[in-house]
């Protein structure tokens, strides 16, 4: 799976972005008049540095990679495979998103946004894809979406991801406008974990059987493109972990 996360489109360098934005340092989210156009063409959203404004946190977009499948699974708990009910083992992770709109110097929650997450299991396998190392076609574990509420919140229950060759530990996410929206938008990126915490989690079963991972954050080429702004602040919670991710979109 070394070809995971090959770039979809062109990811701007910091110099290119500064030139394009006039060194504003804020995110620009490409938009279009039809939601389906946003789906097909893709939207670009990148940030320079840790940009914050009025309580909003602007984040960089990163590549989608080859493993996104639009399953349209509306569910908060993504651990099971709905085709057979089998629950993927691993450390419990409660993952919450807070999605906001940054506009006219104001930060307001975005209600009705569709937030997708997808990631590999404890041994580094994705569902519903065919790869040289596995074929999970038809399975749908560790995938799902939620719609943000009036506070811009979307909540998921999943597991701490495992690892596979060529990548550090990560979770993919996508934020899209609701299908009925007059003006569509799409933002895609990835979430990362502190290396020290991953070492602790992966030293336990069921992760330990796979052996030590081969790539840490700073050796991951995609993480090095502003991945520190996508690093989760993870806290122990009950028998697992919990993290909240705040993200502000501009131009939506």
89-121 burial, b at 16+ Cβ within 10 Å, e below that, comes to ebbebbbebbbbbbeeeebeebeebbbbbbbbb
* Domain 14-250 is found in CATH 2.60.130.10: yes
CA distance 174 to 203: 30
pLDDT tens digits for 4-35? Answer: 554 433 333 333 333 333 333 333 343 333 33
Residue 182 pLDDT > 80, yes or no? no
190-205 burial, b at 16+ Cβ within 10 Å, e below that, comes to bbbbeeebbeebbeee
DSSP H or E run through 41: helix 35-41
- Torsion sign over Cα 40, 189, 156, 69: positive
Mean pLDDT across 61-87? 96
| Higher pLDDT among residues 41 and 98, named by residue | 98
pLDDT tens digits for 121-170? Answer: 999 999 999 999 999 999 999 999 999 999 999 999 999 999 999 999 99
Confidence (pLDDT) at 43 = 36
CB atoms within 10 A of CB 210: 14
- The encoded tokens of residue 239 equal 């028998």
CA distance 56 to 234: 19
Confidence (pLDDT) at 250 = 86
Confidence of residue 96 (pLDDT cuts 50, 70, 90): very high
Domain ranges of the chain: 14-250
Percent residues over pLDDT 70 in the chain: 78
CA distance 198 to 126: 19
- The encoded tokens of residue 227 equal 């991945």
| E-assigned strand segments in 110-213 | 114-118, 130-131, 134-135, 143-147, 153-159, 170-176, 184-192
| Contacts with 245 (C-beta within 8 Å, 6 or more apart), sequence order | 95, 96, 97, 98, 191, 232
Confidence (pLDDT) at 4 = 55
Confidence of residue 179 (pLDDT cuts 50, 70, 90): confident
Residue 39 pLDDT > 70, yes or no? no
| Higher pLDDT among residues 109 and 45, named by residue | 109
CA distance 228 to 210: 26
- The encoded tokens of residue 142 equal 């560790």
Tell me the whole-structure pTM to 2 decimals.
0.81
| Higher pLDDT among residues 250 and 39, named by residue | 250
């Amino acid at each position: 799976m070394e070809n995971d996360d090959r770039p979809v489109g062109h990811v701007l360098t910091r110099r290119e972005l500064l030139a394009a934005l006039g060194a504003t340092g804020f995110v620009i989210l490409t938009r279009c008049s039809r939601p389906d156009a946003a789906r097909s063409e893709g939207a670009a959203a990148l940030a320079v540095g840790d940009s914050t404004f009025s309580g909003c946190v602007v984040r960089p977009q990163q590549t989608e990679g080859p493993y996104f499948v639009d399953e349209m699974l509306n569910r908060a708990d993504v651990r099971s495979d709905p085709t057979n009910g089998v629950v993927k083992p691993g450390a419990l992770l409660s993952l919450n998103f807070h999605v906001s709109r940054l506009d006219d110097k104001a930060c307001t929650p975005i209600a009705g946004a569709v937030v997708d997450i997808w990631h590999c299991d404890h041994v580094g396998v994705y569902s519903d894809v065919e790869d040289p190392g596995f074929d999970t076609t038809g399975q749908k574990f560790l995938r799902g979406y939620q719609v943000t509420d009036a506070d811009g919140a979307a909540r998921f229950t999943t597991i701490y991801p495992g690892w596979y060759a060529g990548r550090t530990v990560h979770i993919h996410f996508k934020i899209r406008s609701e299908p009925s929206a007059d003006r569509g938008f799409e933002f895609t990126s990835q979430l990362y974990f502190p290396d020290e915490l991953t070492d602790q989690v992966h030293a336990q079963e069921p992760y330990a059987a796979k052996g030590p991972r081969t790539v840490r954050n700073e050796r991951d080429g995609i993480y090095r493109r502003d991945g520190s702004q996508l690093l989760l602040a993870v806290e122990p919670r009950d028998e697992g972990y919990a993290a909240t991710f705040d993200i502000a979109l501009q131009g939506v």
